[in-house]
């Protein structure tokens, strides 16, 4: 990919607002602040440096990058305080809100204490999971060596979560950094440990992002799946340790096409692109026509996220949003429901324009192919037999001594070959389940092959489950066949079917 010369403004460089970014992998405090794990961290300037933040579902990874503390004098009185408003009410709550600090002359022994009131605490104890490490050297924010405090804060210790039913999750925080050489004490905000009303708001990332090194040139990813991991057949394959393990996976549900941040920044800042169109070709067609959709996104205002609506204008074009502004889904080119689209390979392209909507802006050529399949796997219990007799729904059947039992035939079938796994189970008693048979894609066929599953399939004998199948106890049973599609929306697998038959088995 060609290298472009452009400068992005700082992502967040305001007081009273910090947006944490998603940590692709856990960040050990032992890692240098210059390690790639800290790339694209959310930032907030303060009078003596920069705060950096990332999080995952378990930890907040925070760094106080004290660029003004250029004296390499460990153990001479340099320290920090780090406060969190646990109940998020911007008031000091006794025995609820917490403050982190270090033990005297032990800069890497982290302590936690609870507030008793303004400027009063319970006394330090060692937190169960949180850690701190101190580093002295250059950072992404200053080439001059300086003091850096790096934290791994357990979300449970500050009653925080990366999930929320009531909007974007957040907390409030304040901190002090003290330097002996040069000498200063900096509180952010002022007097925070006595008054929580002006604490900084920290908004947690709720979204992972695709690894930037694998992004396609224009359409970087479909959800979290980089387009470089999608073949010409429109199906995706990702590593088993990736966010989603896609195996020859088709696409379905609501799809989000995410732009390549470097490409969009170059188009926006250097080439003054302000509008774009998404072009779409149906399976078997070479005719590309504009794809029209509308969606909602959340835009960071500096202190909170505001809901915005995005849609096509009368030219069937969308506004190219400023790539330096943070959104709940960054670099989103289009979000559209694929339900109702014909099954098969759909192709997509992007065209960019200046503000007038007529002057084209050239960019890298890319045609993305997606095999879209929203048909659910077909499932059925073809027969349940006791000897030569079919046992119908709600039947009551007497099972004799061994080897008497039941025989089954089931169907779990996907005509497009996009079956991921299926099983046949018995539910009974109080939340008890017995797996009678299961099979998955990786066990059934070679990697890259299609798998349609089974039709009118006789459950085979195994050493642990002989045929006929015998119930473990006398009870009412619900026999169920379940099937999952090998289809993804880029964030998770979608497409599930089930079918059940109930009966009572006496023994």
Question: Please, which pLDDT band fits residue 127 given cuts at 50, 70 and 90?
Answer: very high
3-state secondary structure 331-383: CEEEEEECCCCCCEEEEEEEEEECCCCCCEECCCCCCEEEEECCCCCEEEEEE
Instruction: Tell me the per-residue pLDDT of 333-392, one tens digit each, with 9 for 90 and over.
Output: 999 999 999 999 999 999 999 999 999 999 999 999 999 999 999 999 999 999 999 999
Answer left, alpha or beta for residue 89, where phi above 0 means left and psi between -120 and 50 means alpha.
alpha
Instruction: Tell me the per-residue pLDDT of 422-459, one tens digit each, with 9 for 90 and over.
Output: 999 999 998 898 999 999 999 999 999 999 999 999 98
Which pLDDT does position 8 carry in this prediction? 32
Lowest mean pLDDT, pick from 307-321, 373-387, 461-475, 484-498 = 461-475
* pLDDT beyond 80 at 267: yes
For 217-230, what is the mean pLDDT? 96
* pLDDT beyond 90 at 9: no
Question: Please, which pLDDT band fits residue 4 given cuts at 50, 70 and 90?
Answer: very low
Which pLDDT does position 305 carry in this prediction? 74
For 280-298, what is the mean pLDDT? 95
Which pLDDT does position 461 carry in this prediction? 63
Report how far residue 261's alpha carbon sits from residue 212's, in angstroms, rounded to the nearest whole number.
8
Report how far residue 196's alpha carbon sits from residue 290's, in angstroms, rounded to the nearest whole number.
51
Question: Cβ distance 407 to 468 under 8 Å?
Answer: yes
Which pLDDT does position 11 carry in this prediction? 34
Which pLDDT does position 342 carry in this prediction? 96
Q: How much is the mean pLDDT over the chain?
A: 91
* pLDDT beyond 60 at 403: yes
Instruction: Tell me the per-residue pLDDT of 170-196, one tens digit each, with 9 for 90 and over.
Output: 999 999 999 999 999 999 999 999 999
pTM: 0.70
* pLDDT beyond 70 at 21: yes
Question: Cβ distance 246 to 323 under 8 Å?
Answer: no
């Amino acid at each position: 990919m060609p290298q472009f010369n452009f400068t992005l403004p700082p992502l967040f460089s305001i007081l009273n607002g910090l947006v944490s970014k998603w940590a692709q992998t856990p960040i050990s405090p032992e890692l240098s602040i210059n390690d790639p794990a800290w790339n694209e961290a959310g930032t907030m300037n303060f009078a003596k440096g920069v705060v950096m933040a990332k999080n995952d579902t378990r930890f907040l990874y925070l760094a106080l990058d004290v660029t003004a503390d250029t004296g390499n004098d460990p153990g001479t009185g340099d320290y920090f305080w780090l406060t969190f408003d646990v109940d998020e009410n911007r008031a000091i709550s006794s025995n609820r809100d917490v403050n982190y600090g270090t033990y005297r002359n032990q800069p890497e022994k982290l302590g936690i204490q609870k507030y008793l009131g303004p400027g009063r605490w319970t006394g330090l104890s060692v937190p169960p999971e949180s850690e701190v490490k101190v580093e002295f050297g250059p950072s992404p924010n200053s080439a001059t060596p300086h003091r850096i405090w790096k934290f791994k804060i357990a979300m449970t210790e500050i009653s925080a979560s990366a999930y929320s039913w009531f909007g974007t999750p957040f907390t409030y925080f304040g901190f002090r950094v003290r330097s002996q050489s040069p000498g200063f004490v900096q509180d952010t905000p002022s007097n925070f440990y006595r008054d929580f009303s002006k604490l900084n708001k920290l908004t947690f990332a709720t979204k992972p992002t695709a690894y930037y090194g694998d992004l396609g040139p224009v359409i970087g990813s479909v959800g979290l799946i980089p387009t470089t991991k999608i073949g010409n057949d429109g199906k995706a394959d990702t590593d088993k340790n990736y966010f989603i393990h896609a195996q020859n996976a088709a696409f379905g549900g609501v799809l989000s096409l995410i732009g390549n941040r470097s490409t969009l920044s170059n188009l926006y800042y250097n080439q003054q692109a302000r509008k774009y169109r998404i072009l779409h070709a149906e399976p078997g067609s070479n005719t590309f026509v504009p794809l029209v959709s509308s969606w909602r996104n959340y835009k960071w205002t500096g202190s909170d996220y505001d809901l915005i609506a995005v849609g096509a204008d009368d030219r069937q074009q969308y506004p190219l949003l400023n790539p330096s502004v943070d959104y709940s889904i960054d670099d989103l080119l289009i979000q559209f429901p694929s339900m109702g689209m014909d099954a098969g390979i759909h192709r997509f392209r992007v065209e960019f324009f200046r503000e007038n909507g007529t002057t084209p802006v050239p960019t890298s050529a890319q045609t993305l192919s997606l095999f879209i399949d929203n048909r659910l796997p077909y499932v059925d219990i073809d027969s349940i037999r006791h000897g030569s007799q079919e046992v119908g729904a709600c039947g009551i059947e007497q099972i004799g001594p061994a080897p008497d039992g039941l025989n089954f035939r089931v169907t779990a079938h996907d005509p497009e070959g996009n079956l991921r796994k299926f099983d046949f189970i018995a539910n009974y008693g109080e939340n008890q389940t017995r797996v009678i048979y299961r099979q998955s894609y990786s066990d059934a066929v070679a990697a890259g092959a299609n798998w349609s599953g089974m039709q009118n399939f006789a459950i085979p004998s195994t050493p642990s489950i002989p045929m006929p199948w015998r119930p473990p106890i006398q009870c009412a049973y619900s026999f169920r066949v379940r099937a999952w599609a090998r289809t993804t929306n880029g964030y998770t697998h979608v497409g599930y079917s089930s079918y059940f038959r109930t009966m009572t088995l006496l023994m």
